[in-house]
Structure 1
Amino acid sequence: MLLSTYGSRGDVEPLVALAVRLRELGMEARVCAPPDEDFAGRLDEVGVPLVPFGPSARALTRAAPPPSSLPQRAAEVVAALLDVVLPAAEGCEVLVATGMLPAAAGGLSVAEKLGVPAVSVTFQQLTLPSPHRPPLAYAGRPLPQEVTDNRVLWELDAQNVNELFGEALNVNRASVGLPPVDDVRGYVLGKRPWLATDPVLDPWRATPGLDVVQTGSWILPDVRPLPDELETFLAAGEPPVYVGFGSMPLHAAPDAAEVVVEAVRARGRRAVVASGWADLTVLDGREDCLVVGEVNQQALFGRVAAVVHHGGQGTTTTATRAGAPQVVVPQLADQPYWAGRVAELGVGVAHDGPTPTVASLSAALGTALSPGTRERATAVADTIRADGTTVAARLLVDAVNRVHARR
């Protein structure tokens, strides 16, 4: 089985979980993903083969290319995907395609070329057309403010997707003998896309013409011990506040580490700062702050007073499952949505905008650190499903069994 994606850690980590669960059910799985060391190391940890392709996702993220380069970047990713993934997928029985939309389209094109079943997966529902909310706007292509009909906005979204990615996809499809696609978004979604999110955190409302399969989040139980230095820090005082922005480069908030740590100190708390792709650090040398690299968030979040983060689906889900109050400082894409869900559920605070100040974060932490928010976070934690990876893996095993039955 081949699991294909292109994107940040939040696009790769769910496939790590799925590959491990498939192996436990007797299925061999490989992951096709960007060649970043973070991803290679993570897959090596769990013994899952990586088929690397395309440019470094981290390098692209840190470079912050202009919106006008989106079609060119899409063409590069699709070309690399077809060049590498197509031969790697020979003999596979099911292909799972996810990640940035043109990469998912490329993965589905591989399955089409080989004549194997494919599943299109998204890790947030904002790419699924719905009359209940507008689509996300692409950089450099704002949606017209005067249009309030969501159905019209989704039609505009389909046009934008075709203009941005249609040529990139179809030129590469032609290179392997496939016909052009007229509706790129419709091709990626198909009739039965999978939504790999928790139904409490991300409730899906039925939409005509789209049979969405919501599996729950794909999370791998993490048994890695915390580093000794972190254990010592945790034991040395009251639970600290965790600060981390994952794969975000923080172009909008270059001094985020200093701002957040000062806001945490203003609340009389210590801080654990995850360096992440923004290479966050704190240089004042005070003992109330510890900077860490890659750590087991599942173990850590249950031992902190609150989690300050960017609002990626994976971090939001992990913090919610741990019962940790949250302050979400959304940077882009789906992150404002997850910030809103955290606030709506009462398990934390959505910061207003991507650029924090000491005052704005201190105020948000005041709410997050209150007993009421902690009680609500603890209650909601018990409602978050833990079986999403198993649900998805069993559905895929069933699909393979159907292929075998037809032979």
Structure 2
Amino acid sequence: MRLLLATAGSRGDVEPFAALARRAMFEGHEVRLAAPDSSGVGLSGIDVVSMGVDYTRMIEEQGVSAWAAIRSFREVVRPTMHAVIVQTARAAMEYRPDVLISHPKVLSAPLVCEALGIPHVLVETVPSMTPTRAFPAAGTTTRNLGALNRLTYRAAGLSARMFRSDLTEVAGLVGATRRRPAPPAATLLPISPAILERPEDWPESVHLTGPWRTESADSTLREDVASFIAEGRFVYAGFGSMAAGDPSIRGREVLQGIRDRGSRALIATGLGGLRIGDDLLGDDVLVVPSVDHDLVLPHAEAAIHHGGIGTLQAATRAGAVSIVVPFIADQPFWGARLHERGLAPAPIPRRRLNAHHVGEALTDSTKYRHAVNVAAEVMSNEHGTAVAMEIIRQQADT
């Protein structure tokens, strides 16, 4: 089977696709991955074609906020989306896959699949495309609107209209008829049912597969991280690429909240999410750019993070209680879901982040440890990429 995987976004959008690519290669399939540059994800050994975009540089230059996206729409967002939409179409026409597996940002995927006569498998990295009454679309609101929840899923379709001219260009490039493309043959969500209960009103073609992750027996920790972990329990804190506001103030408050509780702190600075001044350093804190969550979080008593689904699932799978400080997009959704399922304290709004609220949440976190350990046991038996590949094979055979 010849597969083209296409994803767009930052590290959290690329990692699951890389894991799926490696699983497909392990099973003997031909795989090509269309992806952004400089995502920070290890892609060695994978046949990768560049989309010609760099989300990491975009984040470093303008940060992450809805206002930044609006302000830079014409100069940054539109050219980036044009590259994602058009370059994926070109990659597909050159590669001629049997199945195209795509991220929702790859708006051209349905047109390409129509032109090539192949199945389209949509990957909802967060639940924002398939309507349900159970909860609102991730990234819209955290309030349960009941029967009106389904209306929030129209937001994705409305945003696609902003790139209508790009899709018209793709239609001409691939020879699509520009009629309304068929829905995906299957929709995959690399999310654990321990985190998100499957709604009863989802179609049978929509699947919660469990997280997509790469099993690696060769992963090793940095010497300083390994030594720090060996000294005993600690609290992890990292906000990844959430470069918004003042990371130094944020770092000071987070570290003080951890210290006030008498805990040690392992801080990952990421792409500007946190910054720790030299005046705050001590034997009870280690500051690093990033860590391997799978190796570090099983040793942490709690994990303070932004609520991205990748970090959130890694923490829960490791048995570390999450303290979510959401910034943008789907993060408030996940913070709310985790709290509703009894797996974490209520999220801390970013503008209310201070040492007091951090310490309060850490104290509160002990009440959720048993439930998180139960969820971790469930997740330890999940094999998301294997489940996903079985579904993809079924589409290719129909």
CA distance in 2 between counterparts of 1:340 and 1:313 reads 12
Amino acid at match of 2:356: A
CA distance in 2 between counterparts of 1:375 and 1:253 reads 32
**Deviates further, 203-212 or 69-78:** 69-78
Amino acid at match of 2:69: P
Deviation of the 1:301 alpha carbon: 0.7
Any conservation in 1 of the 2:211–2:385 contact (CA below 8 Å)?
Answer: yes
The one of 59, 64, 67 equivalent to 2:70 is 67
In structure 2, the residue corresponding to 1:3 is in which secondary structure?
A: strand
Equivalent residues in 2 for 1:186-265 (5 A)?
A: 190=184, 192-207=186-201, 211-223=205-217, 224-236=219-231, 238-251=232-245, 255-265=249-259
Write the deviation string for residues 240-280 of structure 1: whole angstroms up to 9, x where unpaired: 10001123223376632221111111111111111212263
Q: Specify the alignment match of 1:97 in structure 2.
A: 102
Q: Specify the alignment match of 2:355 in structure 1.
A: 358
Any conservation in 2 of the 1:70–1:164 contact (CA below 8 Å)?
Answer: no
CA distance in 2 between counterparts of 1:353 and 1:125 reads 21
Any conservation in 2 of the 1:275–1:291 contact (CA below 8 Å)?
Answer: yes
CA distance in 1 between counterparts of 2:390 and 2:321 reads 33
In structure 1, the residue corresponding to 2:122 is in which secondary structure?
A: strand
In structure 2, the residue corresponding to 1:51 is in which secondary structure?
A: strand
Relative distance call for 1:315 and 1:222 in structure 2 (3 A) is: farther
CA distance in 1 between counterparts of 2:284 and 2:111 reads 52
Q: Specify the alignment match of 1:83 in structure 2.
A: 87
In structure 2, the residue corresponding to 1:104 is in which secondary structure?
A: coil
| Structure 1 gap segments, 5+ residues each | none
CA distance in 2 between counterparts of 1:158 and 1:34 reads 21
Any conservation in 1 of the 2:88–2:106 contact (CA below 8 Å)?
Answer: no
CA distance in 1 between counterparts of 2:107 and 2:182 reads 5
What TM-score comes out, normalization by structure 1 length? 0.84
Any conservation in 2 of the 1:32–1:85 contact (CA below 8 Å)?
Answer: no
Write the deviation string for residues 161-187 of structure 1: whole angstroms up to 9, x where unpaired: 3443333333443344333365xxxx5
Any conservation in 2 of the 1:120–1:188 contact (CA below 8 Å)?
Answer: no
CA distance in 1 between counterparts of 2:247 and 2:204 reads 38
Q: Specify the alignment match of 1:273 in structure 2.
A: 267
CA distance in 2 between counterparts of 1:37 and 1:153 reads 33
CA distance in 2 between counterparts of 1:152 and 1:347 reads 25
**Deviates further, 305-314 or 23-32:** 23-32
Q: Specify the alignment match of 2:110 in structure 1.
A: 108
Any conservation in 2 of the 1:51–1:85 contact (CA below 8 Å)?
Answer: no
In structure 1, the residue corresponding to 2:287 is in which secondary structure?
A: strand
Any conservation in 2 of the 1:121–1:194 contact (CA below 8 Å)?
Answer: yes
In structure 2, the residue corresponding to 1:205 is in which secondary structure?
A: coil
CA distance in 1 between counterparts of 2:229 and 2:245 reads 30
The one of 338, 343, 350 equivalent to 2:334 is 338
Q: Specify the alignment match of 2:137 in structure 1.
A: 135
Relative distance call for 1:321 and 1:345 in structure 2 (3 A) is: same
CA distance in 2 between counterparts of 1:51 and 1:393 reads 21
Any conservation in 1 of the 2:136–2:153 contact (CA below 8 Å)?
Answer: no
Deviation of the 1:84 alpha carbon: 5.7
Q: Specify the alignment match of 1:325 in structure 2.
A: 321
Deviation of the 1:306 alpha carbon: 0.8
The alignment's C-alpha RMSD in Å is 2.9
What TM-score comes out, normalization by structure 2 length? 0.86
CA distance in 1 between counterparts of 2:313 and 2:307 reads 9
Amino acid at match of 1:358: A
Relative distance call for 1:78 and 1:239 in structure 2 (3 A) is: same
Any conservation in 2 of the 1:125–1:204 contact (CA below 8 Å)?
Answer: no
Amino acid at match of 1:357: N
In structure 1, the residue corresponding to 2:359 is in which secondary structure?
A: helix
Write the deviation string for residues 319-365 of structure 1: whole angstroms up to 9, x where unpaired: 11111111011111111121122222333223231231111111111
